[in-house]
Amino acid sequence: MPIITADLHPMSDNVIEVREVQKRYGTFTAVDGISFDVKRGELFGLLGPNGAGKTSTIRMIYGFSPLSGGSLRVFGHDITTGWRDVRARLGVCHQEDSLDEEMSVRDNLEIFAGFFGIPRNVARERANRLLEFFGLENKEKASVRELSGGMMRRLAIARALINEPDLLILDEPTTGLDPQTRHQLWEKLARLKKQGVTIILTTHYMEEAAQLCDRLIIVDHGKILVEGRPRDLVAQFVGKQIIESSPVCEGLRRFVTERALEHEDLGHRMLIYCKDDEDIYHEITKTYCQDNCILRMGTLEDVFLKLTGRELRE
């Protein structure tokens, strides 16, 4: 049974406290001394390219992987010694589906409840509610093999909620889902957040992170590059608006160099970070490329690519 008052720092508002945490696999350092906090009730994003150390970090948070260095507290418990108490109060939805294919949808929920020691009648009642919440009532008797990708993911998240966790960990929950399912899932996450569940999420969809996350970090090569609220990060690193030109004429290249404008030249395409200075856009469109230039909103994806670079990973 979860012990609500076990927190060693009752005054602390932090559900997760990560301090100088490292993870090494042999000689490879996956996580290289990162520190961050996740506050109660927050939806916190963990972004980064493939191999940045996201999953390694997530796995240390729920005591799946031991730390190579640093300290990590969840609900005030040191994860190395208090992992059982921590896990009793959190739910994890893995990147890879780990549902029991041999069992029905309902059994997946009820048998998983058994691992938490939840009594059968309580498990049954919670399964009813979760099946309804995720729109799986009509599939309760279906085997997992018969489910679509979207249904399987919904079931995986439902299963992660069977112990009514205070903290929900979602590792790429929307990868491979169609836009309809994705949006529906966002709405479910927003409702869970409203119910007071703290959520930590990794994703490759920047639009998703920008919409959902109260705060996020972008990691690369095992280190945190930035931390902040999505809107603040956009304003700070790329500005609210961006001028995008494709193709790029030589005149424009000279212009941005002369005016020392912050820009990124991708050869066939150029991004100019105009930092809310709309006059520059009018000047450019008047003089250089009338048709090839657009003024658009800066996005988290711009921030992400600017900070982590554009070369392919893995």
Judged by the rule CB under 8 A, the positions of this chain that interact with another protein are 25, 62-66, 80, 83-85, 87-88, 90-92, 94, 96-103, 107, 111-112, 114-117, 159-160, 163
- In the chain, what is the straight-line distance between the N-terminal and C-terminal CA atoms, in Å? 42
CA dist 152 and 146 (Å) reads 9
CB of 242 to another protein, least distance (A): 40
The residue among 76 and 298 lying less far from another protein, judged by its C-beta, is 76
Find the farthest-apart pair of alpha carbons in the chain and give their distance in angstroms, rounded: 73
Tell me the residue type at 43: L
CB of 63 to another protein, least distance (A): 6
CB of 20 to another protein, least distance (A): 19
Q: What is the 3-state secondary structure (H, E, C) of 7-36?
A: CCCCCCCEEEEEEEEEEEECCEEEEEEEEE
Say if residues 254 and 241 touch (Cβ distance below 8 Å). no
The residue among 52 and 303 lying less far from another protein, judged by its C-beta, is 52
Say if residues 226 and 217 touch (Cβ distance below 8 Å). yes
The residue among 116 and 133 lying less far from another protein, judged by its C-beta, is 116
CB of 87 to another protein, least distance (A): 5
The residue among 54 and 87 lying less far from another protein, judged by its C-beta, is 87
The residue among 117 and 267 lying less far from another protein, judged by its C-beta, is 117
Residue 102 is classified by DSSP as T
CB of 36 to another protein, least distance (A): 21
- Please name the helix (run of DSSP H) or strand (run of DSSP E) that holds residue 121, with its range, or none: helix 120-133
Sheet holding 241-245, edge to edge: 263-265, 270-273, 241-245, 293-297
CB of 104 to another protein, least distance (A): 9
CA dist 17 and 211 (Å) reads 24
Cis peptide bond upstream of 247, omega within 30: yes
From residue 270, give the alpha-carbon distance in Å to each of 150, 246, 249, 259, 279: 37, 7, 10, 15, 18
Residue 155 is classified by DSSP as H
The residue among 98 and 287 lying less far from another protein, judged by its C-beta, is 98
CB of 116 to another protein, least distance (A): 6
The residue among 152 and 206 lying less far from another protein, judged by its C-beta, is 152
